Amino acid sequence: LAAAVTHALGGKRDRRVVAAVDEALVLSADHELNASSFTARIAASAGADLYACVGAALMTMSGPRHGGECDRFEALAAEAGEPRRARAVVAARMQRGDPLHGFGHRLYPAGDPRAARLVDVAHRLARGAPAPARAALRTIDALIAAVARAGGEPPALDAGLVAVAVAAALPPGSAGTLGAIGRTAGWIAHVLEQRGDPSLLRPRARYV
């Protein structure tokens, strides 16, 4: 699957690139009851077929507050452009009160372990990557360092996915695609598990 995804995204079907993409897919597969996985379970509890359940989850992930963080982190890296501008870009955003997309996760106050792993994977892959890919990864490193120096939060999964996509010389937008394809395996697992429970998921509302 990783080889097919790499090829579909226009990447080089090199063994090291495919292994990095595979790790990104695995680390994206599941993250308990996030919005899209919960949507898949609700659809499954209603008896929807597997395609409808995955479609519902994918539509939820299309929301910018859930699946759009990779694209926003890419935009942050593009705004910096090169490592020497990272501190200025981060400082300007923090001064304006703008969010630093790709950083911080409320479940991981000490740092998202998935992001740390994927950044390491990207660094290993970058040793044999084209010069533009290595340069883009250096900009990501500079952004992570700049946010840390400014007292910001550690990078989240989205930043790690972008780092891998950059090191693999994949086109812009590939990071979010990797996350969605990887998460599809998790959605299917949630659907199959939910079908073992005959009850309909029906949260209650408390009116105030």
Q: Express each pLDDT in 119-142 by its tens digit.
A: 999 999 999 889 999 999 999 999
Return the number of other C-beta atoms located less than 10 Å from residue 57's C-beta. 29
Mean pLDDT of 82-99: 95
With pLDDT > 90 as the criterion, what percentage of the chain qualifies? 91
Residue 65: its pLDDT value, please?
85
pLDDT at residue 37 in the model: 97
Looking at the annotation, which residues are catalytic? Answer: 66, 105, 158
What does the mean pLDDT of the chain come to?
Answer: 95
Write out pLDDT tens, residues 154-190: 999 999 999 999 999 999 999 999 999 999 999 999 9
- To the question of pTM greater than 0.85 for the whole model, the response is yes
The Cα 147–Cα 171 span in angstroms is 25
pLDDT of residue 161: 98
Which residues touch 161 (CB under 8 Å, ≥6 apart)?
A: 24, 28, 70, 118, 175, 176, 178, 179
Best CA proximity match to 101, nearest among 80, 62, 75: 75
pLDDT band at 97 (very low <50, low <70, confident <90, very high): very high
pLDDT on residue 12: 87
Burial class (CB in 10 A: 0-12, 13-18, 19+), 156: buried
pLDDT of 128 reads 86
64 DSSP assignment: T
Q: Which residues pair with 81 in a beta bridge?
A: none
